[in-house]
Amino acid sequence: MPTILRVAVPLPLPDPFDYLPPESVAAASIAVGARVRVPFGARELIGVVVGHGEVERSPRLRPILALFDPRPVFPEPLWQALLWAARYYVHPLGEALATALPAPVRERLDAPEGSHDQALRLRPDPAQRARLRAGSAPALLYDALVDGPQPWSRLRGLSPQSTSARRRLLQLGLVEPLALDAQARLATTAPPPLNAAQQQAVAALVASHGAFATTLLEGVTGSGKTEVYLALIEHALARGEQALVLVPEIGLTPQTLARFRERLAAPVLAWHSGLADGARARAFERARADTPMVVIGTRSAVFAPLPKLGLIVIDEEHDPSFKQHEGFRYHARDVAVVRAKHSGVAIVLGSATPALETLANVERGRFRHLRLDARAGHAQPPAVEVVDVRRERLQDGLGGKALDAIASALARGEQALVFRNRRGFAPVLHCIDCGWHGDCDRCERAFTLHRARARLVCHHCGRERPLPRQCPACQGEGLVAVGIGTERLEAALAQRFPTVPVLRLDRDSARSADQFERVLARAHAGEPCILVGTQMLAKGHDLHGVTVALIADADAGLHSTDPRASERLAQLIIQVAGRAGRGTRRGRVLIQTHHPEHALFRTLLGGGYPAFAREELSLREALALPPYSAQALLRAEARERAPIDQFLAEAAAAVSDDAVRVAGPLPAPHARRAGYERAQVLLEASQRSRLHAALERLLPVLHAHPLARRLRWSLDVDPIALD
Ligand SMILES: [Zn+2]
Ligand SMILES: [Zn+2]
């Protein structure tokens, strides 16, 4: 009986495909996990061998075209984690593997050695800077290096002339090249002394080295979690091991990288979805080496090979960006825990506001819990006040108390921060004469007014329209902007405080990491200023000069239909509060709301995040919501409603286990997006194993359904948003 190979191809198909080994190669000699090129219809694809099999006769099987590497492309523990993830998230293995091994890596993995990323750094003669014309490509490149060496892969994108600019700077002797490894080994600064709590945490974690254990490191903002991570990584490197650090999407700033590179005596590889194809393939290749190194990256870095992995750190483990929202819907934190288990290593989940799932795992005794309670250094916790704005006429979203607090901070030479989770000038453009308001016709949701660009923009599908001068319905002059976005706050504050800079940080004002850094650099300079922004501003940045932080509107989070809205709001309040008063001066936080009596404020301000979390967990338990139940969401969308309803109704009917509650089909909370009708079925069970058994039975029904190819559908296990 001929032995055949089962190959997973990067397509959304549930099962692997059978192939014969190449001529004169024994199938058994080809390892599971090896990359192969296979014919697929008229195409050729690069897939991964996932098993061997035997067949009676194989007249129609075709042979593999090429074998890339005799050894598996992933180390065994990662391979096991990937197999687990494909099963757990009920996703075709081929696509799951393709997420871990994206096309540029799949095809270019055998890129020649020696093409390593290089870095540039400035030579110590800043006077020479005067020889560069302001605004020119060389000047741009030079300025990007002022804060320290940068890898070429990041610099290259600065301008189309980056390559010639580099040549020019080298000719002028203004910069010098630096191999990335050398950079890491050269630039080590001594660690600051750890406080008692940090030392205890490090000692407890180092003591458990060599065995799988998940530890929640809960530390208030500013308590110095990063120093604990760095100390643990130093231990891992000293043992000759590798470390993997996952950070939220907006946490991987040049500032973060520089801090790790300065401190660690080993290469520190950046890993994120924005890497160019070549850089990504090189990072993957470098991370296959077994020498000490650190990979720091966003969600997808959980798939970095790292054969000598000795430690995993997830910073801000509660951050929603660890969950992938399309295709292979994995949660990087949860995959990382499984990977740590298969690797037999420690994993540390750090947060000031842990996810309720994580706290429930502590409660169940699955995760260990370490606390860092005090702020490092001399910083004191800020004073938090709920500001009742019910009887007040707000001026562009700002009340009297907030304006006074900002004014006095500025008068003392300090900085203020204003948070609003809404980009643009105003969420609605409305005609007071006839009632017209601008809606995106593909989503049936209001267009957001972007005044500086004179556009109406749909934040759901990206569609744009020019800003009308008159009402399109009645041709009147009665158009008014309703509601408050960051752009409006920026304009209002600039008008009110004309002598200080107002710096806005959101996805419109900071489109690239460099723009983002530039704004932060101005804030770091310490002069009085007002920072206005979205989520981007709320997280992790050390802003020593900020003493007043304002949450301009907390109300949306209080009355959402999403069961996770209050968790997010509590996390946000704690995080914004963490931005105020990190220096020596005590900070003040104001929260504007129309519901000052809301229980969330009472609990959170009275007992902090732990008290909030306890109450929210008992509520979830009473309602049998996650983490006290397991959920999966079956979503479907199509141009028309009828096929989605039929598909979902038949899917719901196919779930035959009484232990699995089925809700739907129901229209999605956002029932129309980008011209597609959207609906969903929610499956829920008290026991995760029952839910998974039901999903495994359901999956073939879905794939075989006659409508499955005529609409878009997806299964989301452990969804973190129900829309
Ligand atoms: Zn009108
Ligand atoms: Zn739209």
Measure 418 CA to ligand 2 centroid, in angstroms: 28
CA of 465 to the centre of ligand 1 (A): 17
Type of residue numbered 242: Q
DSSP letter string over 194-245? Answer: P-HHHHHHHHHHHHTTTS-EEEEEEE-TTS-HHHHHHHHHHHHHHTT-EEEE
Q: Peptide bond preceding 59: is omega within 30 degrees of 0, i.e. cis?
A: no
Run of H or E residues at 290: none
pLDDT at 111: 37
Ligand 2 centroid to residue 480 C-alpha, Å: 21
Structure pTM?
Answer: 0.85
Q: What are phi and psi of 11, to 5 degrees?
A: -140, 155
Contact call for residues 314 and 287 (beta carbons, < 8 A): no
What's the pLDDT score for residue 181? Answer: 52
Q: How many Å apart are CA 42 and CA 7, to the nearest integer?
A: 17
Residue that has been written with the tokens 């001399």 in this structure: 378
What amino acid occupies position 511? R
> In sequence order, which residues have a C-beta less than 8 Å from that of residue 642 and are 6 or more positions away?
none
The per-residue pLDDT for 582 is 63
Which amino acid appears at position 289 of this protein? A
Nearest ligand to the CA of 676 is: 2
DSSP code of 338?
A: H
- Ligand closest to CA 471: 1
Distance 444 CA to ligand 2 centre (A): 7
d(Cα 351, Cα 224) in Å, to the nearest integer? 11
CA of 479 to the centre of ligand 1 (A): 7
3-state helix, strand, coil in the chain (%, to 5): 35, 25, 40
Q: What is the pLDDT of residue 340?
A: 97
Give every residue of the chain whose pLDDT is below 50, as ranges: 111-116, 182-187
The residues pairing with 43 across neighbouring beta strands, listed in sequence order, are 40
Sheet holding 712-717, edge to edge: 660-673, 676-685, 630-638, 712-717
The number of C-alpha atoms within 13 Å of 569 and in the hemisphere containing its C-beta is 27
- Report the separation in Å between the CA atom of 436 and the middle of ligand 2, taken as the mean of its atom positions: 17
Give the three-state DSSP class for 402.
Answer: helix
The two tokens of residue 218 are 């809960």
Distance 328 CA to ligand 2 centre (A): 24
CA separation for the pair 560, 650 (Å, rounded): 30
Tokens of 62: 């075709």
Q: How far is the CA of 433 from the centre of ligand 1 (A)?
A: 5
For residue 473, the ligand closest to its alpha carbon is 1
Query: Cα(508) to centroid of ligand 1, in Å?
Result: 29
Helices (H) and strands (E) in the chain, counts: 21, 32
Distance of CA 416 to the CA centre of its chain: 26
Compute, in angstroms, the gap from residue 445 CA to the centroid of ligand 1.
18
Considering every ligand atom shown, identify the ligand nearest to the alpha carbon of residue 444 and give its number.
2
CA of 670, nearest ligand number: 2
Q: How far is the CA of 55 from the centre of ligand 1 (A)?
A: 72
Residues contacting 691, CB < 8 A, separation 6+: 630, 631, 632, 660, 683, 684, 685
DSSP tag of 438: -
